[in-house]
Structure formats: C-alpha cells, structure tokens
C-alpha cells in the first residue's frame, strides 16, 4: 500500500467541545453530535448503560430498511400479522391476527406511532421469529462497534440485560438518517393507516418536536418505567444535520425541552464546512494492465469538518493509503482510504475510489505500450 501525505491549511474555526455547558441537566445521559462527521458537541455520561425503551426500534427500523434496500424485502409486500404480533401490548397500531398490511404501512406505523405489533410482525417476516430478529439486531450492533448495547427484544419493552447508551443510540441514528424514506416517515406529524376502510387509524407522531421545532424530522421516542422518558431526535438546518439523544428524563416536557436546548446550542454555535466532495480529485494511481495507465481517485463520500463559530484557524492534513490496483477496476470500487489528520491525530477515515471505469488492456495494447516505453527510453539516452 502506497501512502501519500497532502497538507491542507483550512482557514476554518477550531472545534471546541462543549463539555462545560449544562444543557441537559435532568437527563441521566445525553449526547449531541453532527451526523456526517460524528463529532460530539455535547456529552453527558454517554457510555452509561441504560434501558432504551422504544428507541430500541431504531435498530429494528435499520434492519428493516436495510432488508428493503438489499431486495430481500419489498415495500409493497403484504405481511400477515401473527397471533403473537397482534397480542403485543404497549404502543400499537392494533393489528388483528391474520390481518395483512404492506411493509410500507407497517414501517410507517413503527416510525410514527411506535407500533410494537408492527415491529414484531416485520421481525417475524424477516427472521421467522422475534428471537432470530434480535440476533440480527445484536449482530448489526457489533458491526457498528457498539460496545454498550445488548438487545433482548425488538420493541424495547423492559427486560433484564436489555440496554444501550446515548452514544450507541446516536451511532444507530447516524446510520438510519442515511435513508430518506425513514426521515419521511419520522418527520410526519400525523397521517392515517387503513384509509378507505371502516378501520381507518389515525397515526400521531410520539415525537412532538416534529411539529414544534423547525428542522426536526425524526427519530424515536421511548418510555418505560425502567427507562424513564427518552428521545433520539435529528434536525436539519443551516446545511447541517444534528443528532441528539437524552435518556432517563423525568417527564416528556423535560425530554422535549432539553433536546430543544441542545439543538439551539448546536445550531447557534457550530457549522459544517466541506473539506472535500465526492468529485474532488485527491490524486492519481497507476492501474496495472489497464487501458488507461493512470486514473484519478476521489473520496467515496463528502469530507466535512465541524467548526465552532470562532475565528481561530485550523491546520488540517490528509493522507492517502492507496492499494495496488489491477484492471479491470470500476468507479465506486474501494481502492484505499483517506485519513483526515489534525494535531498528528486521525480524526476520520474515508474510503477512496476511482473516478471512472478502467478496462483491462489486451495483449496488443500492452505490447504497444511496452514498445513506446522502450523507444522513449532510447530517445532519452
């Protein structure tokens, strides 16, 4: 692997963590971060293991949307509610045993009204039973590097050894907000299920900030006696997406109020500046046996920096760790990584890819290139 270091002086403000700001005094645990960078703006007991209540369903929703995305589940597929699913207590959309409902409407019922019955019905469709689905949830938690999360059910009902942390919930949320359909659902304040029938059902979002805080379009509330009042919320404003989590609040008013205070602090004091885009050419690499010998490389995603609204300059570099590449190679194929470095510390790592497809050269093209190189070398003697 070849390594290149590029120095980039960014005239952008320094990120200053808000550790001394008390904006979630009632919460047992809280976090506020910027979604694209993952940088933390505010934190309080972020790794403490607590009952997450229905915020658990964010992982359920993530598994469901990923199954839709990979084609193993279809939006318009009708799922039949089992007796087990229809018997779930707590928040529900009142599925009857044997009732058929589309994946789209069930996911809508989970996202907006926190339907336990819809959650279990889709869990059974994906993994035969809830236990199998929970195994998928825990496997995904491991893949995301969540060290303080263990699920025992798909809904978040109180159960021994079912726990998560504010930090881990925020990481699940970072994955979930990549799906626009999820944000369309969680950003809807009210809608209906079973329209055109005599069982029309009114869905009202359990996250009241969707209605009362500009820019909020998700994500998930939670409450049980053990968990207290919880909320993972996200808001997009001023070209920046923030994610906040509060856990074990004393009441729903404190839950909404402290989340609003965190968002106010984040949007008033921070901004995101783009360092590189997906079209920024960061170098060229040689393609062994390719029709083209060299191809430009670009980041697979935008590289953003979170800045405090101060006037201090920030000195940031990035280094490229490039693999040896042989043709054929396709645009989008990972060919290495880009490390963003500040004060000799890697603050983020991004995959890099080639800007265009490069086909494998045939024997005649390779021979012609060889002759050209030989003649060029002779002429330079």
Nearest by Cα to 359 from 288, 296, 278: 288
61 φ, ψ (degrees, to nearest 5): -65, -35
Residue 140: in which H helix or E strand, if any?
Answer: helix 130-143
Nearest by Cα to 246 from 52, 37, 5: 52
Would you give the distance in Å from CA 212 to the centre of its chain? 24
Q: Would you name the residues annotated as active-site residues?
A: 54, 57, 114
Residue 372: in which H helix or E strand, if any?
Answer: helix 363-379
The tokens describing 321, both together, are 């760790």
Beta strand extents in the chain (DSSP E only)? 2-10, 29-34, 40-44, 78-80, 100-102, 190-193, 201-204, 216-224, 228-237, 240-249, 270-276, 283-288, 294-299, 303-308, 314-322, 325-326, 334-342, 345-354
How far apart, in whole angstroms, are the C-alpha atoms of residue 137 and residue 130?
10
Quote the Cα angle for 326-278-270, to 5°.
Answer: 140
């Amino acid at each position: 692997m070849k390594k290149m270091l590029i120095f980039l002086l960014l005239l952008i403000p320094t990120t200053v963590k808000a550790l001394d700001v008390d904006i979630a005094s009632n919460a047992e645990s809280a976090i506020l971060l910027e979604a694209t960078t993952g940088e933390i703006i505010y934190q309080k007991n972020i790794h403490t293991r607590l009952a997450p209540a229905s915020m658990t369903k964010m992982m359920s929703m993530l598994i469901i949307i990923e199954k839709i995305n990979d084609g193993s589940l279809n939006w318009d597929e009708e799922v039949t509610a089992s007796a087990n699913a229809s018997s779930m207590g707590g928040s529900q959309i009142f599925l009857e045993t044997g009732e058929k409902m589309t994946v789209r409407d069930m996911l809508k019922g989970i996202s907006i009204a926190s339907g336990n019955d819809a959650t279990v019905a889709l869990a059974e469709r994906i993994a035969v039973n809830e236990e199998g689905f929970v195994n998928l949830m825990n496997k995904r938690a491991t893949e995301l590097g969540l060290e303080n999360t263990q699920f025992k059910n798909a809904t978040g009902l109180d159960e021994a050894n079912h726990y998560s942390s504010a930090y881990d919930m925020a990481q699940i949320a970072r994955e979930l907000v990549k799906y626009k359909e999820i944000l369309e659902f969680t950003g809807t304040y009210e809608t209906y299920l079973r329209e055109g029938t005599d069982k029309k059902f009114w869905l009202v979002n359990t996250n009241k900030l969707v209605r009362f805080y500009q820019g909020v379009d998700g994500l998930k509330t939670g409450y049980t006696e053990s968990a207290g009042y919880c909320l993972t919320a996200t808001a997009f404003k001023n070209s920046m997406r923030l994610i906040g989590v509060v856990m074990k609040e004393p009441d729903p008013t404190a839950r909404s109020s402290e989340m609003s205070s965190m968002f106010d602090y984040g949007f008033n004091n921070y901004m995101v500046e783009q360092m590189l885009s997906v079209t920024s050419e960061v170098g060229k690499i040689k393609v062994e046996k390719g029709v083209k010998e060299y191809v430009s490389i670009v980041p697979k995603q935008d590289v953003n920096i979170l800045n405090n609204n101060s006037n201090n300059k920030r000195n940031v570099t990035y280094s490229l760790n490039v693999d040896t590449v042989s043709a054929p190679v396709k645009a989008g194929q990972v060919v290495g990584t880009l490390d963003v470095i500040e004060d000799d510390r890697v603050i983020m790592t991004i995959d890099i890819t080639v800007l265009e497809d490069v086909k494998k050269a045939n024997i005649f093209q390779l021979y012609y290139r060889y002759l050209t190189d030989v003649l060029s070398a002779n002429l330079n003697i």
